[in-house]
Chains A and B, each alone.
Chain A
Amino acid sequence: MDPSWLPPTVIAIPLIGACLVLALAQHTPRLVVDVAALVTALFTVAGGAVLLVVVGAGRVVTRVGGWTPQIGIVLVADPIGTALALLAAILTACALLYTWRYFDSAEAHVHVLLLLFLAGMVGFALTADLFDLFVFFELMGAAAYALTGHKIEEPQAVHGGFAFGVVNSLGAYFSLTGIALLYARTGRLGLAPLGAALTGRGADVLVLAAMVLVLTGLLVKAAIVPFHFWLADAHAVAPSPVCALFSGVMAPLGLYGVVRVYVTVFGAAVPAVVAHRTLVGLGVVTAGLGAVMCLAQRHLKRMLAYSTIAHLGLFLVGMATLSGQGMAGSMVYLLGHAGVKGALFLLVGLLLARHGNVDEVGLHGRGRADGVARWLFVLAALALAGLPPFGTGLGKAISEEAAERWWLVGIFVLVSAATGGAALRAGLRVHFGLGKPPTDADPDTTSGEDEAQEGRFPARIPMTMVVPVVVLLVGAVAIGVVPAVADRLAEGGRLFVDQAGYLEAVTHGAAATQTPAPARWWTLSGVALGVLSTALAVTLALLAVHGRFGWLGRLLDTPLRTLHRAHSGHVGDYVAWLLGGVAVLSGLLILPALP
């Protein structure tokens, strides 16, 4: 059987479902809308799972409309792209289940937007055409801006949605400019034909400028410093289940795009060492800044958002090795992180539903009666730090091994410990009432006191809100304990960095060569480093809860205030940083190639 009908089908299911839900919403009760949306998401999950099995350790190539790859649009499903599409579908299903009891109003906007968002993400992960990538990028973006500003009567939500929309749109236009330049030079738009046209030609300044521009839009989506400002604002104001999608899969898809475009289009034209150096540098800065800002938050959703930024930096460091192993490690890490971070966002959403507040100080001790949720929060915080056998721990271990250099390993340990420690600190304060509530507050930070109520103060925690949390955490464990996941991703990583194989598959439909990638599994040092970062996280959380930083705290006060002030919430500032980022990226990528 020819499986080439599968990839377009997986993209079409959520699109058709969204139209159906929109049509149904006019005439049917809320329950029908909920069920229809959830069924659509589950069908997409099933489609993604079938595709993953069919793809195996190869690629499924679809020539849309039967056009040849030189002219037409091609879809390519490989293990990594398909895994991301499946992840998007699973997280959307969890978000839809969670929203069942979450939103008061009976409107179907959220359902339709979530399904359109899913279609955009699946398309982004499966396309092999640069302009098509841009279109799905924008579809994903437009749905995401609307979801961010969903609480339309809340001042912060519309502000955050606006900044997100402006920054991401401008990033997308930079990408489009780069795409136009590439088309002008080569007359191609497909990733593989572009790569073929640039191979052997060498990279002149126009091609390098186009690369900087294309990568800019993707790096904005991936929230890499200095393009990261929108992410914390968007996460602070978006509904919690939407945040789980943003953190778990949307921003990581930006990273996927960066590496996919670099490898397939520019892999032969731009020396790997230049790209490697640049991406590692960006990743390290992002990880460091994210970790520091994460520790310095009291707004729980902002704290988790900065933790996401830190992790995106770590994923980028892993992917920047441009090796099969680094890609596989980052993917395992990314999948584990999606489960853990998704669970944490849903647990914060539970706090918001029960207590109408997401402020770490304001909620001090008020979450004591939250039953199972408080233990899940602590467990998820430890998993965020990389506790074995969670997928986060395994991904971190594989990435550390791939990164090789000791100082990069140190960054992995410290950053994951810092973000896990921040989450654990919040959990211990809110759910266990440990320590005294801190009194000082920087005027340049956002407290979580004004966050609009989501949900309807359930007296008991509804099952539809707990089940997705448990599903996500079990999923995160499964990624760490089922060897097939890591094996499949190791194969996928090898295919992902193989530019020649990709080109061959697109133009001739040749099957991937079957040289099995070396299996990656838990090693003694991996477990030890995972335990070490978890122990560091616990120490950090206990120290923070009891406020014992003394002179160190006073020393860090001024730099922290400066950092807080830089994250001003001002859309003009964010765009100025974006332009500065383009300049830095140009310097890093174009200057080394000049004679």
Chain B
Amino acid sequence: MNMFPYLVGGWLLLVGCLGVVRSRDLVHTVVCVSVAQSGTYVLLVAVGYQSGAAAPVQGEGTPVPGPVVDPVVQALTLTDIVVSATVTALLLGLVIQIAKLHGTVDPDRLNDLRG
């Protein structure tokens, strides 16, 4: 088993979180959230991968010979991408409103919710 894709997945998740922590711009924050989520895509696809296996597409009358990669994790990844698109769009919309109403997108200068 090749560990490399798993390490990449874990790294993307952590570096995305770190990016949110250190972010100085909310658009950058939203992109970092997407980066963190990309880690889950890599991990999911890596879980179902088999070396040399075909794509899990079964047409009528033409069964794919030999092993295929796990279709379940691919379905999960697609679902995950849909969720990501929704959340990213919503967060970017909120950033536009924050920029309009606060006049800044620097999280260090947003200080109206404290205590």
* Residues of chain A at the chain B interface (Cβ within 8 Å): 131, 135, 138, 141-142, 145-146, 149, 152-156, 158-163, 165-166, 169-170, 172-174, 176-177, 180-181, 183-184, 189, 233, 236-237, 293, 296-297, 299, 302, 442, 444-446, 450, 564-565, 567-573, 575-576, 578-579
Contacts and interface: CB of A to CB of B under 8 A. Distances in A.
Interface of B: 9-10, 13, 16-17, 20-23, 26, 29-30, 33, 36-37, 39-40, 43-44, 47, 72-73, 76, 79-80, 83, 86-87, 90-91, 94-95, 97-98, 101-102, 107-108, 110-115
Contacts of A571: 20, 23, 26, 29, 107
A170 B20 contact: yes
A156 B21 contact: no
A569 B114 contact: yes
Given A161-B94, A162-B95, A180-B73, A567 B114 contact: yes
A567 B23 CA distance: 18
A184 B48 CA distance: 8
A237 B112 CA distance: 11
Contact of B90 (A165, A299, A567): A165
The 8 closest A-B pairs by CB, nearest first: A445-B115, A569-B113, A564-B115, A155-B101, A158-B97, A184-B47, A162-B94, A575-B20
Contact of B36 (A153, A170, A236, A296): A170
A158 B110 CA distance: 11
Given A155-B102, A572-B23, A165 B113 contact: no
A568 B111 CA distance: 7
Given A161-B94, A183-B47, A237-B113, A154 B101 contact: yes
A170 to B, nearest CB: 6
A161 B107 CA distance: 14
A183 B72 CA distance: 10
Nearest to A172: B83
Nearest to A71: B72
B79 A135 contact: yes
A568 B90 CA distance: 23
Interface centre among B30, B47, B79, B110 (most CB of A within 10 A): B110
A528 B96 CA distance: 54
B79 A579 contact: no
Given A170-B20, A302-B115, A162 B91 contact: yes
A131 B40 CA distance: 13
A152 B96 CA distance: 10
A237 B94 CA distance: 14
Interface centre among B10, B13, B115 (most CB of A within 10 A): B115
Contacts of B113: 156, 159-160, 163, 233, 236-237, 446, 569
Nearest to B26: A162
Contacts of A176: 40, 44, 80
Contacts of B94: 145, 149, 158, 161-162, 165
A177 B21 contact: no
Given A161-B94, A162-B91, A446-B114, A173 B36 contact: yes
Nearest to B30: A166
A183 B43 CA distance: 11
Interface centre among B72, B94, B111 (most CB of A within 10 A): B94
A575 B80 CA distance: 21
A507 B76 CA distance: 23
B33 A169 contact: yes
Contacts of B98: 155, 158-159, 162
Nearest to A296: B115
Given A162-B26, A570-B107, A571-B29, A177 B112 contact: no
Given A155-B112, A442-B115, A166 B29 contact: yes
Given A156-B113, A158-B101, A567-B115, A170 B73 contact: no
B108 A570 contact: yes
Contact of A159 (B87, B90, B102): B102
B101 A180 contact: no
Nearest to B40: A176
A570 B110 contact: yes
Nearest to A563: B115
6 contacts: A146-B90, A156-B113, A162-B94, A177-B13, A177-B39, A444-B114
Contacts of A135: 79, 83
A159 B23 CA distance: 15
B71 to A, nearest CB: 11
Given A158-B94, A158-B98, A571-B107, A165 B115 contact: no
Contact of A189 (B20, B72, B97): B72
Contact of A145 (B22, B26, B80, B90): B90
A173 B114 contact: no
Interface centre among B20, B29, B40 (most CB of A within 10 A): B20
A576 B22 CA distance: 9
Contacts of B73: 180, 183
B83 A572 contact: no
Contacts of B13: 173-174, 177
A142 B82 CA distance: 12
Contact of A153 (B91, B95, B101): B101
A572 B21 contact: yes
